Amino acid sequence: MMNTPSSDSTLTVVIPVYNEAEALPALLEEVLPYCRARNWQVIFVNDGSRDGSAELLQAHHAPPQVRVLHHKVNRGYGGALKSGLMEVKTPYAVTIDADAQHNIADLDALLSLALERNADLVIGARGHRAGGFWRGMGKWLIRRFAALLLPIHVSDLNSGCKLYATPLAQKYLPLCPDTMAFSDVITLIFIQKRHLVLEHPIHVRERRTGRSTITAFTAFQTLMEILHIAMLFNPLRIFLPLAAACITFGVVWGLPILLRGRGVSVGSMLAIVTGLLFFAIGLIAEQLAATRMALLDLHSPERKE
């Protein structure tokens, strides 16, 4: 099916920018005419850049279609996306990176798929080779860790190119971190809340200028945020295996000692009691998570189907 550009203002493109002065001229030359031709809105978020990015962006500030938001200090990738997404007024919002690696023409396909399927989130899937071997390995490890804690069915959790139903994205922003883990976490939230999440392949160019800010510490932050989300939505997924492991270990260790008539092993009792405590904590955490989610649903507008 051929993708046709939207004739009304249904989409806002949100672009976080941090020290991308070298890449911005090419990005602006590609993005702005394309979005104007489709009557899409564009929001740039200058996240405390110190290299002249702010001046380059401000020269193109032309509200209401092109807006530039400025952070006085760097808040992080997720913090910039939060600021931009909260300002979106159109039914759909899409995020792309400022390093000119994303192809703006791919957004037509994402929007068409969202409109056709009434999708809540469409992920621009980059393929397994994007980012090189080591980054690909890191993405695989993060995905496997996430799959242990939460049910997932997408291949590219941390793609920076995602198209959201705006009301839902704005609803879940308070649950998302300000770090690079934002992309993974908001995807997991959409999946866990049983929204329609789809993927569509996109083209990714090699970074021509500047340097990526993704490090090994970024991966660690992402793993911790995934753990936090699992605790928020399904804490028993964490505590139940711990409880079962402790109780099983205590029984396996203490039963032979008991059968030999040597009494009850202190170590096995300690393991069993620890398992029961894990189980009790898990039940309490599950109730707190259910209450928190009920309050979030109560005070946030749902998207109309």
Which of 45-49, 50-54, 177-181, 204-208 is least confident? 204-208
Give the DSSP per-residue string, 137-203: HHHHHHHHHHHHHS----S-TT-S-EEEEHHHHHHHGGGS-SSTTHHHHHHHHHHHTT--EEEEE--
What is this structure's pTM? 0.75
Tens of pLDDT, residue by residue over 251-303, are 999 888 888 888 878 889 999 999 999 999 989 988 887 787 676 665 555 55
Which of 59-63, 65-69, 124-128, 158-162 is least confident? 124-128
pLDDT for res 7? 42
- Rounded to whole angstroms, how far apart are CA atoms 206 and 163? 22
Q: Which neighbouring-strand residues pair with 152?
A: none
- Could you give the strand order of the β-sheet that contains 41-47, starting from the edge strand earlier in sequence? 66-71, 41-47, 11-17, 92-95, 162-165, 121-125, 197-201
Pick 210 or 229 by higher pLDDT.
229
Give the DSSP per-residue string, 57-111: HHTT-BTTTEEEEEESS---HHHHHHHHHHT--SSEEEE--TTS-B-TTHHHHHH
Query: What pLDDT band is residue 200 in, cutting at 50, 70 and 90?
Result: very high
Q: Is the pLDDT of residue 93 over 90?
A: yes
Query: What pLDDT band is residue 91 in, cutting at 50, 70 and 90?
Result: very high
Q: What are the residues whose beta carbons fall under 8 Å from the beta carbon of 97, sequence distance 6 or more?
A: 15, 16, 160, 161
pLDDT for res 6? 42
Pick 287 or 211 by higher pLDDT.
287
Question: In the predicted model, what is the mean pLDDT of residues 78-94?
Answer: 97
Q: Is the pLDDT of residue 5 over 50?
A: no
Q: What would the two tokens of residue 132 be?
A: 């090189």
